[in-house]
């Protein structure tokens, strides 16, 4: 079945009273832009050669070190109007002004090899992950998103069945509290954020699945109730402390859910913005928590992406964060995919530059695209010593498929 030449364009950052419903896959149809109340609907519902099985110790991207910086005193937080469109003066995003050379045959070949390898990692119960991260709802969600980034949906596409089985597993992982996690999950809010994002993307494409809507609504409620007094989130679903690496997972999940028509409190988003801003250092980079700490590029990428997904489009914090990322020479050109939080960092860095658009995206994308392809193993996967091959391969594939704009979260 051929892919439709018409891609559905969602306006992710325009008025959040816009309800977005997309049907996409190998037989996508053109959808008209609809404006309606965003309240929940009652019914509408150098190349590496081998990949090892070494398992990681943690998913937490807080150990990358760089120079110590002094903290800036957070300025007063201006209320963010989440219903305001992306300002014209910000300029075109990458999605609105795509480059002709964003992709090439080498990129597509790499993607297809990666997808074949990833499909082979799926467990019989539909989950992904092995060892300490076996049957992991968050990693399973990321793997499904990698397939969806190529247009595969339940019942549609070569890997539609892989997405379907992953969805069934994630839904089966939902607890009475709304938490999306299996019993062996440690620090489950990372995985909960990724799993909620996945459900938001599924529901945005197919709003008729009541099971998805119910699980997504309860997952959003758990995120809201777990926000701490600073405005952030951390490992467990309790409002005690926060760090920026977990906070981006929850902010992105909330953005996806709200795009799909699930109610998200404006106060929750405004408090998250205040928290992220309070984690920025004087050099433009972001530290792990509000207390004193060093800047590092993976969490800076997370910080900038958090602000974008929270509805901040033009802001000094964003500009300084982007400048920090572009000034960190060790991000690309020589760093190893075995480096701590390599895939996590690039997953958010490519999104930050994509959302920035213009010359930032034009300069960033070809470099990370070529670097990511160069690090692909002969088997078709990518290696990561922290969270295993399913995690690293799915992250790499999502990065490489940014120009396809199939996921609603990446559309404006």
Q: Report the pLDDT value the prediction gives residue 35, as an integer from 0 to 100.
A: 30
Tens-digit pLDDT string for the chain (412 aa): 444 443 333 333 333 333 333 333 333 333 333 333 333 333 333 333 333 333 333 455 544 434 344 333 333 334 334 444 545 554 444 444 445 679 899 999 999 999 999 999 999 999 999 988 999 999 999 999 999 999 999 999 999 999 999 999 999 999 999 999 987 677 899 999 999 999 999 999 999 999 999 999 999 999 999 999 999 999 999 999 999 999 999 999 999 999 999 999 999 999 999 999 999 999 999 999 999 899 999 999 999 999 999 999 989 999 999 999 999 856 765 555 557 789 999 999 999 999 999 999 999 999 999 999 999 999 999 999 888 999 999 999 999 999 999 999 998 6
Report the b/e string of 345-381 with b at 16+ CB within 10 A: bbbbbbbbbbbbbeebbeebbeebbebbbebbbebbb
Give the closest residue to 141 by CA, choosing from 366, 341, 377, 391. 391
Q: Report the pLDDT value the prediction gives residue 101, as an integer from 0 to 100.
A: 77
Question: Which residue ranges form the domains of the chain, and what is each CATH number?
Answer: 88-410 (1.50.10.20)
**Whole-prediction pTM:** 0.79
Q: Report the pLDDT value the prediction gives residue 40, as an integer from 0 to 100.
A: 37
Q: Report the pLDDT value the prediction gives residue 11, as an integer from 0 to 100.
A: 32
Query: How many angstroms separate the most distant Cα atoms in the chain?
Result: 56
Q: Report the pLDDT value the prediction gives residue 211, as an integer from 0 to 100.
A: 97
Give me 283's structure tokens. Answer: 């050099």
Residue 163, CA distances (Å) to 139, 253, 372, 381, 390 in order: 13, 18, 24, 18, 14
Give me 242's structure tokens. Answer: 């926060």
Measured CA to CA, the distance from residue 322 to residue 153 in angstroms comes to 33
The burial of 390, by beta-carbon neighbours within 10 Å (0-12 exposed, 13-18 middle, 19 or more buried), is given as: buried
Contact 300, 325 (CB under 8 A): yes
């Amino acid at each position: 079945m051929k892919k439709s030449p018409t891609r559905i364009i969602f306006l992710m950052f325009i008025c959040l009273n816009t309800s977005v419903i997309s049907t996409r896959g190998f037989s996508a149809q053109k959808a008209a832009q609809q404006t309606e109340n965003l309240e929940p609907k009652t019914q509408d519902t150098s190349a590496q050669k081998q990949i090892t099985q070494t398992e990681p110790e943690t998913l937490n991207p807080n150990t990358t070190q760089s120079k110590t910086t002094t903290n800036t005193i957070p300025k007063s937080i201006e209320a963010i109007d989440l219903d305001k469109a992306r300002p014209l003066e910000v300029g075109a995003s990458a999605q609105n002004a795509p480059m002709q050379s964003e992709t090439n045959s080498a990129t597509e070949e790499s993607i297809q090899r990666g997808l074949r390898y990833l499909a082979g990692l799926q467990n019989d119960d539909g989950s992904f992950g092995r060892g300490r991260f076996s049957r992991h709802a968050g990693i399973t969600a990321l793997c499904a998103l990698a397939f969806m980034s190529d247009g595969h949906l339940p019942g549609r596409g070569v890997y539609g069945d892989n997405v379907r089985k992953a969805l069934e597993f994630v839904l089966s992982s939902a607890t009475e509290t709304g938490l999306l996690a299996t019993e062996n999950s440690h620090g489950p809010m990372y995985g909960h954020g990724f799993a909620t994002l996945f459900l938001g993307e599924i529901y945005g494409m197919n709003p008729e699945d009541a099971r998805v809507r119910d699980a997504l609504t309860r997952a959003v409620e758990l995120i809201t109730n777990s926000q701490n007094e600073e405005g952030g989130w951390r490992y467990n679903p309790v409002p005690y402390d926060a760090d920026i690496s977990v906070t981006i997972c929850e902010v992105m999940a909330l953005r996806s859910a709200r795009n799909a028509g699930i109610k998200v409190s404006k106060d929750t988003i405004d408090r998250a913005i205040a928290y992220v801003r309070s984690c920025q250092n004087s050099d433009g980079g972001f530290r792990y928590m509000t207390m004193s700490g060093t800047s590092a590029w993976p969490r800076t990428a997370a910080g900038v992406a958090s602000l974008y997904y929270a509805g901040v489009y033009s802001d000094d914090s964003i500009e300084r964060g982007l400048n920090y990322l572009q000034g960190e020479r060790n991000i690309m050109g020589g760093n190893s995919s075995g480096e701590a939080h390599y895939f996590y960092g690039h997953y958010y860095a490519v999104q930050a530059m994509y959302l920035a658009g213009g010359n930032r995206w034009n300069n960033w994308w070809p470099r990370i695209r070529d670097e990511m392809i160069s690090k692909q193993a002969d088997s078709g996967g990518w290696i990561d010593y922290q969270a295993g091959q399913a995690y690293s391969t799915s992250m790499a594939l999502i990065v490489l498929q940014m120009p396809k704009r199939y996921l609603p979260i990446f559309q404006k």
